[in-house]
Chain A
Amino acid sequence: MAYRRVYCELSWFMKLIEAVVYGSLLGGAYAVIGIGMSLTLGVMEVMNIAHGEIILLSSYLAYQLLLLLGMDPLLSAIPLSLFLLTLGFFLQKYCLSRALKYSVEMFVITTLAISTILENVYLLIWSPMQKALITGYLLWSCEVGGIKVPFVFLLDFFVSIAVLVTLREFLKKTYLGMAIRASSEDWKIAQLMGINTDNIRALTLGLAFLTAGIAGVLIGLTYPFSPSIGKSYMVIAFGIVVLGGLGSMIGTFIGGLIIGLVQVLTATFFDPAWQLFASYLVIFIILALRPKGVLGR
């Protein structure tokens, strides 16, 4: 989860432009991390602490598919995200719904336990060493006005926009999406209108897992990953929800951009070791000053 700049001499101004471009592009990938968290918080009013570990699950499974079958990670993203959709659906329907019925806090505790279990299972299976999805197009880049833009960063940005737009249209236009929005407004009324809210919750967690699956492949292509990094993903997802406010795709996107920009600007102009700390600090400052997000009233 650490942005590293390839060393070359650039003027101060070019460095700034480069940092802004890279930060915005990476911000796209962060928006995909955050959208799942925003969805569960908006509809179910809970946060899934294991969100980061689910993202890592997708990264590790893509790594394993690449290793065993030579399957391209972008290709394996499709079956992986569908697998995670079903996993999320059944996990909520038969397991987590019991905790949620008891109280919201019990849900959070259960997902904390799941996240701890998953992290240590990854440690046992894949060792604490860093892994990466290494593909042929990892080194491609295109040059725009003197700035080299890696292909992977562009991929992050455009795939994330596609995911956000698709999700927005799904929630706005389809019957299922409308049912999800209706239940996020008011549970009881939605139930009275004949919506099976249990299934809606299960579907919401499934959708959050689906976006986590896509995010896992994107982040796996961008950064190396290790079992302990899941918590950082979770904190970034939380930060995006805090920065962007709830229930808007644009807010989520802006939250991703802010975190990406803070991270890359800190790495370029201050010290790469402090990039994650800087983005976390921004999250807490925003939480203290504007608890409803930068766009919120």
Chain B
Amino acid sequence: MIRAWQNFPLKKYWPATLMIVILLFIPLIGLSAYMVTFLTLYFIFLSMAEMWNFLAGYGGFFSLGQGAFVGLAGYMLGILTDFGCPTYAALIISSSVSAAFAAVVSKPLFRVKGVYFSVGSLALTEMMRIFFTSWRPPWASPVTWGGAGIPIKAAAYITRIEIYYVALILALISILVVKIALNSKIGLNVIAICDDEDAALSCGMPTFRYKLFLLVICAFFTGLAGATFYLYQGYIEPVSGFGVNWTLIPLMATIIGGLRSVEGPIFGAFISTILYLQLVRYLGLSLILQGVIVILFVFLAPKGLRGLFDKLKKGSGG
């Protein structure tokens, strides 16, 4: 154990380690409520962005249906805590439900290649929204469910600081999972499938299994991030739960930071959070601005800030 710690490459990772230590202790010093909220949302969005980047940047599956995983996990959290399930168990179970759902729908989604996946996932989110708008379970009280949504009871018994730590750990684990997966055989196979699926298949790779793994991991952590968000929000209704903004937030964070880089979303999610918090009162305006930013980045800097930075470095170098 000690040997392992001695071998830890502190020189390489000291900025990240320092950052994590600061983030771990910062709420104890007494941070303003606004800052705690900001950081909590930042961690949630960061986790979603990392997962979207893993799926789209490395796997080549441009999912536009992250809302399906977020909304499903949020609803499951509401239902489970309503039945008296402890909060942390409910978080894990609800995101597992989200992952199981991804496994079920992977069959039609992966059936046809290319843009079908993107539009199919968007269609799936719409389907889920309509389902939760129309469905009334037998135990429902007359004022909740349907378009009105449901309250999440666990939100009343958990403090903001606790949610901060949950979100922080979630973000760290998401980044770690993506890093580890990319350095392992799984990541290499996923990238190979993204580059040329037919070639990978002809090499004898079980491509469907890897694609399934990718989607399930992504759905699990996106669901966990969504459930954490709704634990913070305390209320879920179908229009926002299965909304397009759950795709736009990670998409914008990734496009700004740069596709196919683990570090990109760390910066991009920061901008997403600022936009979300500053414009939260004008939801329509916020979405218009997000759309404009995405279009500008696609046209002017399709590789994101990272691409711009690389270009700048190359330009000044020679």
Chain A residues at the B interface, C-beta cutoff of 8 Å = 41, 45-47, 49, 95, 98-99, 102, 104-106, 108-110, 112-114, 116-117, 119-121, 123-124, 228, 231-232, 234-235, 238-239, 242, 271, 273-274, 276-277, 280-281, 283-285, 287-288, 291
Contact = CB atoms under 8 A, between A and B. Distances in A.
A123 B244 CA distance: 15
A239 B124 CA distance: 11
Contact of B115 (A104, A114, A271, A284): A104
The 6 closest A-B pairs by CB, nearest first: A288-B108, A113-B291, A117-B291, A287-B108, A120-B284, A280-B127
A104 B124 contact: no
B256 interface: no
Contacts of B120: 238, 284, 287
Contacts of A114: 291, 295
Interface string B276-303: 0000000011011011101100110010
B130 interface: yes
B134 A273 contact: yes
B255 A109 contact: yes
Contacts of A105: 56, 60, 62, 115, 118
B148 interface: no
A113 B64 CA distance: 11
B295 A274 contact: no
A110 B294 contact: yes
A112 B244 contact: yes
Given A95-B299, A108-B119, A235-B123, 6 more contacts: A47-B115, A106-B298, A110-B298, A112-B294, A116-B248, A235-B122
Interface of B: 56, 60, 62, 64, 105, 107-109, 111-112, 114-116, 118-120, 122-124, 126-127, 130-131, 134, 239, 244, 247-248, 251, 255, 284-285, 287-288, 290-292, 294-295, 298-299, 302
Nearest to A281: B127
B105 A116 contact: no
Contacts of A281: 127
Among A49, A95, A117: residue with most chain B CB under 10 A:
A117
Contact of B295 (A104, A110, A291): A110
Given A110-B294, A114-B295, A120 B244 contact: no
Contact of B118 (A47, A123, A231, A288): A47
Contacts of A113: 248, 290-292, 294-295, 298
A181 B247 CA distance: 34
Contact of B123 (A104, A106, A239): A239
B127 A108 contact: no
Nearest to A124: B284
30 contacts: A47-B115, A105-B56, A105-B60, A105-B62, A105-B118, A108-B115, A108-B118, A108-B119, A109-B62, A109-B294, A112-B244, A112-B294, A113-B291, A116-B287, A228-B239, A231-B244, A234-B119, A234-B122, A235-B122, A238-B119, A274-B134, A280-B123, A280-B126, A281-B127, A284-B108, A287-B108, A287-B112, A287-B120, A288-B107, A291-B112
A99 B115 contact: no
Given A109-B255, A231-B126, A291-B112, A121 B294 contact: no
A161 to B, nearest CB: 26
A19 to B, nearest CB: 20
Nearest to B252: A113
Contacts of B64: 49, 108, 112
A285 B302 CA distance: 35
Nearest to B284: A120
B147 to A, nearest CB: 11
A116 B119 contact: no
A284 B107 CA distance: 10
Contacts of A119: 287
Contacts of B287: 116-117, 119-120
A291 B120 CA distance: 12
